[in-house]
Amino acid sequence: MTSSTVYPISSMGGPLAKRVPRSGRWGTVFAVFRRSCYLESGGGQVFCLADQGLGEGPLTLAVKIPSKTTFRSLGINEGCHLDTDGVDLVVGHELVLTTAETVIWEPDPVGQTAPQDEILRRLDVLIDQVDPLIPSDGLAEVIPHTAGIANAGSSGIVNMNAVAELAMPRLSRLCGGLTRSASEAIDQGVAGLVGLGPGLTPSGDDLLGGMLVALRAMQNTASLFSVDALAGCVTKHAAAETTRISAEMLEQSARGYGSAAQHRLLRCLLGVDDSSDTVNAALDLIRTGHTSGWDALAGILLGIYCGLRIGRYQASPDPAAQSSIAFSRRMAGTPA
Amino acid sequence: MAEKRDLLGGPPATINVGLEVFADTLQELGFPVVQVDWRPPAGGDHRLTDLLSRLERSSDPNAEGTN
Amino acid sequence: MTVKNHVLKNMYRDSVALMRLSQEMEGLENVAQATAIMGTDNNKDLLAQAGLLADSGKSATPNDLIVAFDLTSPGQEEAVITSVQQRLMSGRQRTGGGAGYRPRSMEGALQTLPQANLAMISVPGEHAAREARKALDLGLNVLLFSDNVPLEDEVGLKQQAISLGLFMMGPDCGTAIINGVPLGFANAVPSGRVGLVSASGSGLQQVICLLAESGEGISHALGVGGRDLSGEVNGAMMLEGLRALGEDSATEIIVLISKPPAQSARARVLEAASQCGKPYVISFLGEQGEHGKRASRGNVHMENNLEGTALRVLKLLGKETPGWASLDDKNRKRIESIIAGSDPGHRSIRGLYSGGTLCYESLFILRDLGHLAGSGLEQEPVGGDLLIDMGDDRYTVGRPHPMIDFRSRCEALVQAAADPEVGVVLLDVILGYGAHPDPAAELSPAILEAQKIARNDGRRLACVVALCGSPDDPQDMDQQEKTLTHAGALVVHSNALAARIASAISRGGAVPLPGGDTRG
């Protein structure tokens, strides 16, 4: 087609917007799906162009296209280049995307958080509600056990699929490491989870991503060390041990950037305001991908349980961590 | 709407929900068909199925309200 | 078991596609286990634990896709890999909007195909009514293939459909043909002037195939589901179908097929038929006595079997009696030779059916001829003739339907051969869209094996096949018949004739004519 249709980009993730080149080549398509595609920039940055119906994300260009149109039918194939002239983006030779009305997307912060008892109550209710829906693929099966894993380590694994069974002790180790601020345990847990499971973003990655986004959202001085340790381990392992799409996702999660659906759910679970939208937000999340949404939900739940626990953990922490925590507390004015 | 409802007026255009072999046949013969990627809405639990149905209706601006 | 890995470098496919790929691979004949997963270290451990990691998979990197499978016999690797690559690459060739796109809901499907006027639903029974209701709400006619739908749901759905001016074909409706478009298990038949409404799938297929073989086509074939003429449903959709065919200009003659109806439903149907100007052939299968032929009146002609129904239609259209209605000389001689070579004390009949109605028809034909024939669902009869509908729920739990998968029937055939009481095996083979691509190839080895078993035991086993298909069906009916005949089967195209032949062999006498005066 010679006359090209122009499609508007409705939003661009904040972290991505910072990296738009002023002109010239931005990236090349390396994976194409029905309603989204992935590109890699010259600098190795992986980002995503997606139908706006799939929701916003930190590295996503959300484009408004007709609902029955697939990306391939628009002429987007592996190897197509994405070029810009500063205002419009051109994919391949003919597909023009305009940024004239693009909104920069940043996640809404959780704001003031609800009291701990209330958060626990909301988690209980949500887990109850989603329990009958839990699929047998991926790591969703750990959801009913997340409180137990975070608080006391797993005891007695019930019948789960192979991926979940393998993941359970690793999750226990990880959560134990988080609550004790034990870097080595955190690292071992993460090493066993990155790249684990089916999917283009393996289940373990989606779970870790959800955990990170949740932990960053409720981060305080007491949890800072553990969360930073987790972030560091995840990005380190992800760089070499998982797909590049997933590695990029985890990089953003490590900084607290999840998808719009994840942030919406976190506001419902943690925010001091009324949480009547929680089930809808959860359903929105679990409808993502095949198991990615479920795995991220498992991670969010686990992350919140851990986050609540790290704040009130009593036993003596790892010596390497202790000085860090003491330092943080001194800075915050609380007794060491 | 009347033309659309008339089943015998012309060759049907089909939405297939379930066994793909039926859509495959129509596609091979060149008849219009679209295959729905159907999943059970709730793992067999009817209480949850109802909950989901109510949620679906309540998020539809044209819905008349839940029952 | 042979474990193979095939590594695709930098292969990105979404999770759903990978899951489907795994499922499809596991469905392949030689594959015991299969999965498609990214080549991360942790996943290689997973594969190793599952016994699916091979050398080539070990060197995969995280951005590579490992397709791992376990073959039941070596040497099949190429076939599996070819099919995997076709599946993975197929998305690339398709351009054009919508190709390969699968909406998650009917609403989404309507956006993709706004001119859609029919929803074909074959989801598990517990979800079927809900999906059907959704379809009706969206203004779609429905073909509901699913069974195990509660009766009260069927009543409600049909009421809803009628109030909306829509068709609800089913539940438990496996066959329909509308304006030449085959829906469900249907045959390729020419278009013509006969319109049919049926409460039976295989019954419908038999009649239209016999008509097609005689050069008569159809306008439409509608299904209403097996319970439509029950007291509760009361013929709701049957009446709608009859009305629509009555108004359809292409339809000159209307055929109705069902098992014997409830009293009130019968009355409604006969009333509607008698008020229509067009000739009706009403086939309540297995009916006798006062409801039999003598009830024919005015434009309404009553029949009680499928072959008779087709013959009546042809007669009303002024066509000659077709060849399929009688035995040709070759078959006649074969029957005589079989009878001559067998011991009269060992000739009971074993029927192994895929079409429930065909089984039912054979049962009543045999009983009508004085056989003590049972269906296996009741007590074993003294006479020992047993006709089994292998498409019934009790035989299909966890297995595909016998129209698609022949393994159960092959096993049962071989077992029957080992029974010294059995002298005749009766089988139906139904061709058409949706059915197995080569039933003759599936059955022939079992037919040969069965006859060999009998021969080794000093017996003769006759195998009679009712081959139900149309000359235009994808399976090449001629070839199917040749293959089955070469394997030793006696092949006819009419199920009723097959049953009569079985009776003759069983008793050592001549093949009876069709009961009643079909050929007047």
Mean pLDDT in chain A? 85
A74 Cα distance to chain centroid: 29
The candidate with the shortest Cα–Cα distance to C390, out of C365, C371, C368, C415, is: C415
Amino acid A4: pLDDT: 56
CB-CB under 8 Å, C131 with B14? no
Question: To the nearest whole angstrom, how far is the Cα of A76 from the nearest Cα of chain C?
Answer: 10
- The set of chains that have 3 or more CB pairs under 8 A with A is B, C
Residues of B in contact with C109 (CB under 8 A): 15, 34, 36
Q: Is the confidence at residue C397, as pLDDT, over 70?
A: no
Q: What is the mean pLDDT of residues C119-143?
A: 92
Q: How far apart are CA C169 and CA C160, in angstroms?
A: 12
What DSSP string describes B7-57? STTS---EEEES-HHHHHHHHHHT--EEEE----SSSS-HHHHHHHHHHHH
Amino acid A124: pLDDT: 94
Q: How far apart are CA A291 and CA A198, in angstroms?
A: 9
State whether residue C180 is helix, strand or coil. coil
**What are the residues facing A113 on neighbouring strands?**
A271
CB-CB under 8 Å, C49 with A73? no
Tokens 């595909």 -> residue = C400
Residues of B in contact with A129 (CB under 8 A): 48, 51
Q: Is the confidence at residue C506, as pLDDT, over 70?
A: yes
Residues of C in contact with B22 (CB under 8 A): 120, 122, 145, 183-184, 434
Q: How far apart are CA A250 and CA A256, in angstroms?
A: 9
Residues of B in contact with C434 (CB under 8 A): 21-22, 25
For chain A, the residue count is 336
- Model confidence at C313, pLDDT cuts 50, 70, 90, reads very high
pLDDT digits (tens, 9 = 90+) for A230-273: 999 999 999 999 999 999 999 999 999 999 999 999 999 998 88
Type of residue at A267:
R
**Of B43, B55, B59, which has the smallest distance from its Cβ to A132's Cβ?**
B43
CB-CB under 8 Å, A280 with B51? no
Amino acid C202: pLDDT: 94
Range with the poorest average pLDDT among A45-49, A167-171, C80-84: C80-84
Q: Is some CB atom of chain A closer than 8 A to the CB atom of C400?
A: no
Angle, vertex CA C221, rays to CA C361 and CA C298, nearest 5: 75
CB-CB under 8 Å, C97 with A73? yes
Q: What is the mean pLDDT of residues C144-171?
A: 93
Q: Is some CB atom of chain A closer than 8 A to the CB atom of B63?
A: no
User: By the 8 A CB rule, do C162 and C239 touch?
Assistant: no
Two tokens, residue C316? 């009303």
Q: Is some CB atom of chain B closer than 8 A to the CB atom of C103?
A: yes
Topology of domain C2-89 in CATH is Gyrase A; domain 2 (3.30.1360)
Angle, vertex CA C153, rays to CA C150 and CA C155, nearest 5: 115
Question: To the nearest whole angstrom, how far is the Cα of B6 from the nearest Cα of chain A?
Answer: 25
CA distances from A30 to A26, A78, A79, C139 (A): 13, 5, 6, 41
Chain C residue at shortest CA distance from A39: C12
User: By the 8 A CB rule, do B8 and C179 touch?
Assistant: yes
Q: How far apart are CA C430 and CA C402, in angstroms?
A: 10
Half-sphere exposure of A223 (CA within 13 A, CB side): 24
Q: What is the mean pLDDT of residues A216-229?
A: 85
CB-CB under 8 Å, B40 with C167? no
CB-CB under 8 Å, C15 with A30? no
Q: What percent of chain C has pLDDT over 90?
A: 56
Which parts of C237-382 are beta strand (E)?
253-258, 280-284, 300-303, 348-353, 373-374
User: By the 8 A CB rule, do C385 and C372 touch?
Assistant: yes
Q: Is the confidence at residue B43, as pLDDT, over 90?
A: no
Q: Is the confidence at residue C88, as pLDDT, over 80?
A: no
Q: Is some CB atom of chain B closer than 8 A to the CB atom of C166?
A: yes
Residues of B in contact with A135 (CB under 8 A): 43
**Of B13, B49, B53, which has the smallest distance from its Cβ to C113's Cβ?**
B13
User: By the 8 A CB rule, do C493 and C209 touch?
Assistant: yes
Q: How far apart are CA C389 and CA C409, in angstroms?
A: 10
Q: Is the confidence at residue A2, as pLDDT, over 50?
A: no
Q: How far apart are CA C204 and CA C221, in angstroms?
A: 8
Chain A residue at shortest CA distance from C67: A198
User: By the 8 A CB rule, do C385 and C348 touch?
Assistant: yes
Amino acid A98: pLDDT: 92
Amino acid C517: pLDDT: 30
Which letter does DSSP use for residue C218 in this model? E
Residues of B in contact with C113 (CB under 8 A): 13, 15, 32-34
What DSSP string describes A292-311? HHHHHHHHHHHHHHHHHHHH
User: By the 8 A CB rule, do C206 and C358 touch?
Assistant: yes
Q: Is some CB atom of chain C closer than 8 A to the CB atom of A292?
A: yes
The candidate with the shortest Cα–Cα distance to C430, out of C105, C184, C265, is: C184
Q: Is the confidence at residue C444, as pLDDT, over 70?
A: yes
- Model confidence at C84, pLDDT cuts 50, 70, 90, reads confident
Mean pLDDT in chain B? 67
- Model confidence at A1, pLDDT cuts 50, 70, 90, reads very low
- Model confidence at C294, pLDDT cuts 50, 70, 90, reads low
The candidate with the shortest Cα–Cα distance to C140, out of B4, B57, B31, is: B4
- Model confidence at C518, pLDDT cuts 50, 70, 90, reads very low
Half-sphere exposure of C149 (CA within 13 A, CB side): 31
Type of residue at C485:
T
**Of C16, C123, C130, which has the smallest distance from its Cβ to B18's Cβ?**
C123
Q: Provide φ and ψ at A278, rounded to 5°.
A: -55, -45
Two tokens, residue C271? 């009333």
Amino acid C440: pLDDT: 92
The candidate with the shortest Cα–Cα distance to A209, out of A231, A236, A228, is: A231
**Of C35, C43, C96, which has the smallest distance from its Cβ to A195's Cβ?**
C43
Q: How far apart are CA A64 and CA C116, in angstroms?
A: 25
CB within 8 A of C407, min separation 6: which ones?
A: C399
Buried b (16+ CB within 10 A) or exposed e, A117-127: eebeebbeebb
Amino acid C183: pLDDT: 95
User: Could you tell me the pTM of the whole model?
Assistant: 0.56
Find which of A48, A70, A292, A295 to mutate to test the C interface (most C CBs within 10 Å of its CB).
Answer: A70
CB-CB under 8 Å, B36 with C102? yes
| C106-322 CATH | 3.40.50.261
CB within 8 A of A114, min separation 6: which ones?
A: A122, A270, A271, A272, A275
Asked if the domains at C106-322 and C326-507 fall in one CATH topology, the answer is: yes
Q: How far apart are CA A253 and CA A193, in angstroms?
A: 15
Q: Is some CB atom of chain A closer than 8 A to the CB atom of B36?
A: no
Q: Could you tell me the residue ranges of all domains in chain C?
A: 2-89, 106-322, 326-507
Q: How far apart are CA A250 and CA A216, in angstroms?
A: 13
User: By the 8 A CB rule, do C416 and C453 touch?
Assistant: no
CB-CB under 8 Å, A279 with B43? no
**Of C46, C63, C95, which has the smallest distance from its Cβ to A73's Cβ?**
C95
Residues of A in contact with B45 (CB under 8 A): 132-133
- Strands in C181-184's sheet, in edge-to-edge order, are C181-184, C175-178, C218-223, C191-198, C253-258, C280-284, C300-303
Q: How far apart are CA C69 and CA C81, in angstroms?
A: 10
Q: How far apart are CA C347 and CA C423, in angstroms?
A: 4
Using the Cα atoms of residue C15, residue C19, residue C20 and residue C22 in order, give the sign of their dihedral.
Answer: positive
**Of C14, C18, C63, which has the smallest distance from its Cβ to A244's Cβ?**
C63
Two tokens, residue A45? 């940055």
**Of A132, A135, A280, which has the smallest distance from its Cβ to B48's Cβ?**
A132
CB-CB under 8 Å, A289 with C15? yes
Question: To the nearest whole angstrom, how far is the Cα of B33 from the nearest Cα of chain A?
Answer: 14
pLDDT digits (tens, 9 = 90+) for C364-385: 999 989 888 888 766 555 558 9
Which parts of A81-225 are beta strand (E)?
81-84, 88-91, 95-98, 103-105
CB within 8 A of C519, min separation 6: which ones?
A: C311, C321, C325, C513
Q: Is the confidence at residue A328, as pLDDT, over 50?
A: no
CA dihedral C7, C9, C15, C17 (to 10 degrees): -70
Q: Which of residues 189-248 of C touch B (CB under 8 A)?
A: 220, 244, 248
Q: Is the confidence at residue C142, as pLDDT, over 80?
A: yes
Q: Is the confidence at residue B1, as pLDDT, over 50?
A: no
Amino acid A315: pLDDT: 29
User: By the 8 A CB rule, do C358 and C203 touch?
Assistant: yes
C180 Cα distance to chain centroid: 18
Residues of A in contact with C63 (CB under 8 A): 243-244
Q: CB-based burial of residue A132 (10 Å sphere; 0-12 exposed, 13-18 middle, 19+ buried)?
A: middle
Amino acid C295: pLDDT: 65
| C326-507 CATH | 3.40.50.261
CB-CB under 8 Å, C120 with B15? yes
Q: What percent of chain C has pLDDT over 70?
A: 92
State whether residue C513 is helix, strand or coil. coil
Which parts of C72-158 are beta strand (E)?
118-121, 141-144
Amino acid C476: pLDDT: 87
Q: Is the confidence at residue C95, as pLDDT, over 50?
A: no
State whether residue C8 is helix, strand or coil. strand
User: By the 8 A CB rule, do A89 and A99 touch?
Assistant: yes
For chain A, the straight-line distance linking the first and the last C-alpha, in angstroms and rounded, comes to 69
Parallel, antiparallel, or unpaired: how do β-strands A95-98 and A88-91 relate?
A: antiparallel
Q: How far apart are CA A294 and CA A133, in angstroms?
A: 10
CB within 8 A of C337, min separation 6: which ones?
A: none
Mean pLDDT in chain C? 87
CB-CB under 8 Å, B33 with C113? yes
pLDDT digits (tens, 9 = 90+) for C236-250: 999 999 999 999 999
- The set of chains that have 3 or more CB pairs under 8 A with B is A, C
Which letter does DSSP use for residue A84 in this model? E
pLDDT digits (tens, 9 = 90+) for C321-369: 888 888 888 888 888 888 887 776 668 999 999 999 999 999 999 998 9
pLDDT digits (tens, 9 = 90+) for A95-120: 899 988 899 999 988 877 888 889 99
Find which of C94, C181, C243 to mutate to test the B interface (most B CBs within 10 Å of its CB).
Answer: C181
Type of residue at A314:
Q
pLDDT digits (tens, 9 = 90+) for A264-312: 999 999 988 877 889 889 988 988 777 899 999 999 999 999 999 886 5
Angle, vertex CA C72, rays to CA C66 and CA C74, nearest 5: 80
Which of the given ranges, C117-126, C198-207, C294-303, C499-508, has the highest pLDDT on average?
A: C198-207
Residues of A in contact with C25 (CB under 8 A): none
Amino acid C382: pLDDT: 56
